[in-house]
Amino acid sequence: MSTGNLDFEQFRVFLEKACGILLGENKQYLVSSRLNKLMEQQGIKSLGELVQRIQTQPRGGLREQVVDAMTTNETLWFRDTYPFEVLKNKVIPEFIKNNPGQRLRIWSAACSSGQEPYSLSMAIDEFERTNLGQLKMGAQIVATDLSGAMLNNCKTGEYDSLAIARGLSQERLQRYFDTKGPGRWAIKPPIRSRVEFRSYNLLDSYAPLGKFDIVFCRNVLIYFSAQVKKDILMRIHATLKPGGYLFLGASEALNGLPDHYQMVQCSPGIIYQAK
């Protein structure tokens, strides 16, 4: 694939506008490796031609396929462990104490292939098993992602042995999955039905999603510019109920915004409480 400097620059601008992802100036190789197959299939010879094709048909298939190919969907079950322990041991008990009679609402923003929201649903089940009847109104998890391909995976709730091997204990596999044939498992209906999947771009308004007690926005802000990241964090703050919690990825930090969030040290792990 030919990636002239001007073409690459135009592609960078397109990608950041479409989904917030900011490509480094030396990331031509990444674009080539991720788009080669798609461009071959479409008979597109250069990045310039690709940008032109997207610009003349701004909505629809090709644009979505390009964004899909450029996103990183790496994920695993119970990623980093501590967020799910903090949820069960601190955040849910606090929620029950401060919000009697309310249903817990969690947003898994950028849920990839579903491991994060389904892990949240399993963690809630684990809490309920040891605290019978305490979460009286139950919980709802709204899980969103930009990628149509990822959301289709999520909705089937089916995973192969490669995906299952990444972070899921045998005990959880036995308890929360049904076998679907050799090397294939499906999430059990009670865990699945707690999660509602929606296609959503983090650059769009969050108003239609309603208010949340907890937001997991993990391992996605690292791809955005400082300005886009700050804007998203401020808008997430507006979706959180007062005292609600934000969970970021283990390698991500919230710099600034002292008027919006208070850092809470959980040993291990840090979470952020909405002021």
Ligand X SMILES: C[S@@+](CC[C@H](N)C(=O)[O-])C[C@H]1O[C@@H](n2cnc3c(N)ncnc32)[C@H](O)[C@@H]1O
CA 252 to CA 27: how far, in whole Å? 22
**Contact flag: residue 220 with ligand X (CB under 6 A):** yes
User: Which residues have CB under 8 Å from 148's CB, separation 6+?
Assistant: 64, 68, 199
CB of 220 to ligand X, least distance (A): 4
**Contact flag: residue 79 with ligand X (CB under 6 A):** yes
CA-based torsion, 274, 151, 146, 80: positive or negative? positive
Q: Are the beta carbons of 141 and 115 closer than 8 angstroms? A: no
Q: Which two tokens stand for residue 84?
A: 């799910």
Task: Select the residue interacting with ligand X from 72, 81, 152, 255 (CB under 6 A).
Answer: 72
**Contact flag: residue 218 with ligand X (CB under 6 A):** yes
104 annotated to a ligand binding site: no
User: Which residues have CB under 8 Å from 161's CB, separation 6+?
Assistant: 183, 184
Q: Are the beta carbons of 150 and 141 closer than 8 angstroms? A: no
CA neighbours closer than 13 Å in the CB half-sphere of residue 37:
6
Beta strand 158-160 pairing with 104-109: unpaired
CB of 115 to ligand X, least distance (A): 6
Nearest-CA neighbor of 131 among 161, 87, 175, 193? 87
CB of 159 to ligand X, least distance (A): 14
98 annotated to a ligand binding site: no
Task: Select the residue interacting with ligand X from 40, 74, 160, 196 (CB under 6 A).
Answer: 74
Task: Select the residue interacting with ligand X from 44, 104, 146, 187 (CB under 6 A).
Answer: 146
Task: Select the residue interacting with ligand X from 3, 147, 153, 239 (CB under 6 A).
Answer: 147
User: Helix or strand or coil: residue 36?
Assistant: helix
CA-based torsion, 218, 220, 224, 230: positive or negative? negative
**Contact flag: residue 239 with ligand X (CB under 6 A):** no
- Is 87 or 220 the residue whose CB approaches ligand X more closely? 220
194 annotated to a ligand binding site: no
CB of 166 to ligand X, least distance (A): 10
- Is 173 or 203 the residue whose CB approaches ligand X more closely? 203
CB of 126 to ligand X, least distance (A): 19
**Of 26-34, 65-73, 188-196, 266-274, which segment contacts ligand X by CB under 6 A?**
65-73
CA 113 to CA 13: how far, in whole Å? 27
**Of 94-102, 110-118, 135-143, 183-191, which segment contacts ligand X by CB under 6 A?**
110-118
CA 33 to CA 206: how far, in whole Å? 33
Q: Which positions from 178 to 207 touch ligand X by CB under 6 A, shown as an x/- string?
A: -----------------------xxx----
At 111, phi and psi to the nearest 5?
-90, -5
**Residue numbers at the binding site for ligand X (CB under 6 A):** 19-21, 71-75, 79, 110, 112, 116, 145-147, 150, 201-203, 218-220, 249
